[in-house]
Amino acid sequence: MNWETLFNMQKQLDSYIEDNHNLSDRDLFDDKYLALLVELGELANETRCFKFWSNKKRSASDVILEEYVDGVHFILSLGIVKGFIYSSTNHKSSEQTETELFNEVFERCMVFKNDTTQANYNRLFASYLILGQKLGFSEEDVHRAYVKKNEVNYERQNSGY
């Protein structure tokens, strides 16, 4: 998939939010990094993949996809802050469990925060996409859900969220 469209949409949303909240002169990297970690936790919670102690079923696929796309928003936004862009390549499916993939994404987040390079950004983005594949989402699913959630984010900003 060509991620440039989503990067452009995210850049516009970020600018809109920063302008409306007078944040243009503030470095938001750490805030966006923490937001990504929170979104990852929320996503893991919806999948329930790590909840070995519970018999409750995972959330519906559309709920999980919406949480997944929240993470995409922040990964894109972190790249924008640092001037990085991701170019899609074909990702091999993983034999890792969902839990292992979540842990890998968390680790890649930490590596990227501590060593903010294009290569580490690419690894973070790729590991998140592999997690998405494991969750059953195609890049087209992600693109559609991102566009839909982007509209919701604008509506929220316009309603005083």
Domains of the chain, first to last = 4-158 (1.10.4010.10)
Distance linking the first and last C-alpha atoms of the chain: 31
* Apex 124 CA angle, 63 and 156, nearest 5: 40
Tell whether the model's pLDDT for residue 160 goes beyond 80: no
**pTM as predicted:** 0.93
Ranges of beta strands (E only) in the chain are none
Please check whether residue 134 is in contact with residue 96, taking contact to mean a CB–CB distance below 8 angstroms.
Answer: yes
Tell whether the model's pLDDT for residue 19 goes beyond 70: yes
What's the pLDDT tens digit per position in 92-151? 778 999 999 999 999 999 999 999 999 999 999 999 999 999 999 998 899 999 999 988
Which has the closest alpha carbon to 161: 10, 7, 20? 20
Tell whether the model's pLDDT for residue 161 goes beyond 90: no
Mean pLDDT for 61-72 is: 97
* Apex 154 CA angle, 35 and 159, nearest 5: 100
Please, which contacts does 46-54 make with residues 24 or more away whose CB atoms are closer than 8 Å? 47/98, 47/135, 49/97, 49/98, 49/99, 49/102, 50/98, 50/99, 50/102
Tell whether the model's pLDDT for residue 39 goes beyond 70: yes
- What percent of the chain lies above the pLDDT cut of 90? 80
CB environment 13-25: b (16+ within 10 A), e (fewer): bbeebeeeeeeee
The pLDDT, as a whole number, for residue 152 is 87
